[in-house]
């Protein structure tokens, strides 16, 4: 249709960058549509962005994704004296009150120790106004701490308490170290200036594991977790003298293990069920260590020796390693105690040597006592033990295996092997050597006499099936 000459359409308003058709469509949206977009669509779009920003700037979980896995030099480790990261978050200490989420990206969080101290006072304001130590839960070593005087002279909270939540030292204590004091105080100052009573013994550094990755010794766990308060021998705390067999017997194994796991008095719980670092097996290994070292013990208790040295790897029932099922009668019926003794004494595969002659801590009597204890616990009948068993374990088992079945051409676990061969011929083959087997007889420069070889063969023949 043609418009009259005196009429014209109004000039369309253009928005730079938008086509005229799109402008018309937007104008055609009713007001209730815009209301819906403003009330529902925009918040749904903004919410994930805001949630991500909030999570990455205020969540301990996000911080620990780097600071708990070793990706940074400052590793967050659960404190033994301070509330955990779930109760006092990283942001509570490393951000300022009311900090907006985007400020963490723009200005950085308050990771510097001197900036963290201001946040300590928000929870611990009363500490800044006293020089006393009454009510201090973790002042086990009776140190005279004058907080108010230190702060008045320019000290900050983190100058002393820098490891309250980030203590990577061994043993972990989360308490001030002597090095912190010596940053200001002269090394020549009297110890009694701070230590109100007797000077506690300094615990020795925890020993390195016997082999890479091996942490089966209860002594290692004790020194790492307990020695900072109880001392290297366990006799620092008078009310809980762990170095006394009388005290351990009076309390009982169950009560001691429960105290370590769940805590007792001012001592926090160290069991994994309470957020601590120790499993039940590691706690039992500590208890085993204490019982073997306690003053007043009559003789080594085989169960305590096992708990201290073996339980962490083999388990409480001895069934943690499928190929070494210590609770199985079949396992013991196929092996002799002397043979297993040499495995424990000298080490085997991933197991370190425990014998004193090989750098371990156990005597022959202790090793044999543990093996006999485990054998009785399994219900297996004691296998024949004599000179032949000892000699076989020392000279033959490395190649022929624990039962004599390891060499296919010499299946000495079978009765048919001995039925098809004369004893004299077997003695000669052993003494002179045969095939890949070297000569073991003394006449050929070996360590065995003919009587020794006969004892070995008699032992194997008695066990053959």
Higher pLDDT, 219 or 70: 219
Residue 422 three-state SS: coil
Instruction: Tell me the per-residue pLDDT of 280-302, one tens digit each, with 9 for 90 and over.
Output: 888 888 888 888 887 765 666 88
Closest listed residue to residue 348, CA positions, set 385, 312, 288, 393: 393
Q: How confident is the model at residue 218 (pLDDT cuts 50, 70, 90)?
A: confident
CA-to-CA distance for 285 and 226, rounded, in angstroms? Answer: 13
Given a cut of 80, whether residue 156 has pLDDT beyond it is yes
Least confident of 3-17, 136-150, 253-267: 3-17
Given a cut of 60, whether residue 136 has pLDDT beyond it is yes
- 3-state class percentages of the chain: helix first, strand second, coil last, to nearest 5: 50, 5, 45
Instruction: Tell me the per-residue pLDDT of 173-204, one tens digit each, with 9 for 90 and over.
Output: 777 877 778 777 776 676 667 765 544 444 44
Given a cut of 70, whether residue 214 has pLDDT beyond it is no
CA-to-CA distance for 90 and 76, rounded, in angstroms? Answer: 9
Give mean pLDDT, residues 360-380.
82
Higher pLDDT, 81 or 69: 81
Delineate the domains of the chain, giving CATH numbers in brackets.
Answer: 61-133+141-193 (no CATH), 218-314 (1.10.760.10), 386-465 (1.10.760.10)
Q: What is the pLDDT of residue 155?
A: 85
| Share above pLDDT 90 across residues of the chain, in percent, rounded to a whole number | 0
Instruction: Tell me the per-residue pLDDT of 373-422, one tens digit each, with 9 for 90 and over.
Output: 888 888 876 555 567 777 777 778 767 876 777 788 888 888 888 888 88
Q: How confident is the model at residue 83 (pLDDT cuts 50, 70, 90)?
A: confident
Name the maximum alpha-carbon separation found in the chain. 137
Q: How is 428-447 classified by DSSP, letter by letter?
A: HHHHH-BTTBPP-BGGGT-S
Q: What is the pLDDT of residue 332?
A: 79
Residue 4 three-state SS: coil
Cα-to-chain-centroid distance, residue 103: 37
């Amino acid at each position: 249709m043609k418009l009259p000459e005196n009429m014209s359409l109004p000039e369309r308003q253009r928005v730079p960058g938008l086509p005229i058709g799109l402008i018309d469509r937007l104008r055609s949206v009713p007001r209730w549509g815009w209301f819906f977009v403003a009330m529902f669509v925009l918040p749904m779009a903004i919410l994930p962005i805001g949630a991500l920003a909030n999570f990455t700037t205020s969540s301990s979980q996000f911080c620990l994704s780097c600071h708990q896995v070793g990706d940074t030099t400052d590793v967050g480790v659960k404190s033994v004296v301070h509330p955990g990261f779930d109760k006092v978050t990283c942001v509570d200490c490393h951000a300022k009150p009311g900090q907006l989420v985007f400020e963490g990206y723009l200005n950085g969080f308050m990771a510097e120790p001197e900036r963290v101290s201001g946040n300590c006072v928000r929870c611990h304001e009363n500490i800044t106004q006293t020089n006393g130590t009454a009510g201090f839960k973790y002042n086990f070593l009776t140190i005279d701490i004058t907080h108010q005087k230190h702060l008045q002279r320019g000290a900050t909270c983190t100058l002393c308490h820098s490891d309250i939540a980030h203590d990577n030292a061994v043993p972990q204590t989360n308490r001030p170290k002597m090095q912190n004091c010596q940053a200001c105080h002269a090394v020549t100052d009297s110890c009694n200036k701070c230590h109100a009573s007797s000077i506690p013994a300094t615990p020795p550094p925890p020993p390195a594991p016997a082999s890479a990755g091996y942490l089966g010794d209860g002594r290692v766990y004790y020194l790492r977790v307990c020695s900072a308060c109880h001392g290297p021998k366990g006799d620092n705390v008078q009310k809980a003298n762990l170095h006394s067999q009388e005290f351990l017997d009076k309390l009982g194994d169950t009560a001691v293990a429960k105290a370590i796991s769940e805590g007792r008095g001012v001592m926090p719980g160290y069991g994994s069920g309470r957020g601590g670092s120790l499993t039940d097996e590691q706690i039992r290994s500590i208890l085993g260590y204490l019982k073997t070292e306690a003053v007043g013990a009559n003789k080594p208790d085989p169960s305590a020796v096992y708990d201290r040295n073996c339980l962490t790897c083999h388990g409480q029932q001895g069934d943690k390693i499928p190929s070494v099922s210590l609770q199985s009668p079949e396992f013991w019926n196929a092996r002799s105690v002397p043979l297993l003794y040499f495995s424990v004494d000298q080490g085997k595969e991933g197991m370190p040597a425990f014998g004193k002659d090989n750098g371990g801590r156990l005597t022959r009597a202790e090793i044999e006592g543990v093996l006999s204890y485990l054998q009785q616990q399994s219900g297996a009948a004691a296998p024949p033990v004599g000179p032949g068993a000892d000699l076989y374990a020392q000279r033959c088992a490395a190649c022929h295996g624990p039962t004599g079945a390891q060499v296919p051409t010499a299946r000495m676990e079978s009765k048919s092997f001995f039925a098809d061969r004369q004893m004299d011929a077997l003695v000669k083959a052993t003494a002179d050597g045969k095939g890949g087997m070297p000569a073991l007889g003394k006449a050929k420069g070996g360590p065995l006499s003919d009587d020794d070889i006969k004892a070995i063969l008699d032992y194997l023949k008695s066990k053959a099936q």
